[in-house]
Amino acid sequence: MERATFAGGCFWCMVKPFDQYEGVERVVSGYTGGDVPNPTYEDVCTNTTGHREAVQLTFDPSIISYETLVSIFWRQIDPTDAGGQFGDRGQSYETAIFYHTEEQRLIAEASKKALAASGTFDAPIATDILPAKPFYEAETHHQDYYKKHPLHYTRYAIGSGRVPFQRATWGDTNDE
């Protein structure tokens, strides 16, 4: 098993897209990228801890490749938005790929370069590619939010602008 860590704005919207794939054994919402140990949601929301909301996946690379996971990630976000994602603004909602190995870094960098060259976006790709730092699991009520609160999750994903952006950019949401 390997780990992959992605910050794509609100972590509620980043679990379901990965959770549906064979080979993804676990998707956990949490906080990473900062220097404050054991942050809480309230701490991270102050935008003073350096942490971003993120998901950490445990996956079987013999079933699903890291390249595939990175491709799924790109379809969940607006990679040109450096100030957060959709309705969520601030450092804690900025996007990033946190790599755990040199191979992951190379794959992420190549994927970012290919996305920039694809012509899909007019603006530069703002998503950071950073070395993985300690990952802190979010509080229990944030885990598997889409399963626990499906109506609120759907309203949020649409109302925040995420789903309309995905449909306009990709023709689907990869989340249905």
* DSSP states of 57-82: EEE-TTTS-HHHHHHHHHTTS-TT-T
What region does 65 belong to: left with phi over 0, alpha with psi -120 to 50, or beta? Answer: beta
CB 138 within 8 A of CB 8: no
SS3 category, 83:
coil
10 is catalytic: yes
Among 4, 7, 10, 27, which one carries the catalytic annotation? 10
Other CB atoms closer than 10 Å to residue 48's CB: what's the count?
13
> Which residues does the annotation mark as catalytic?
10
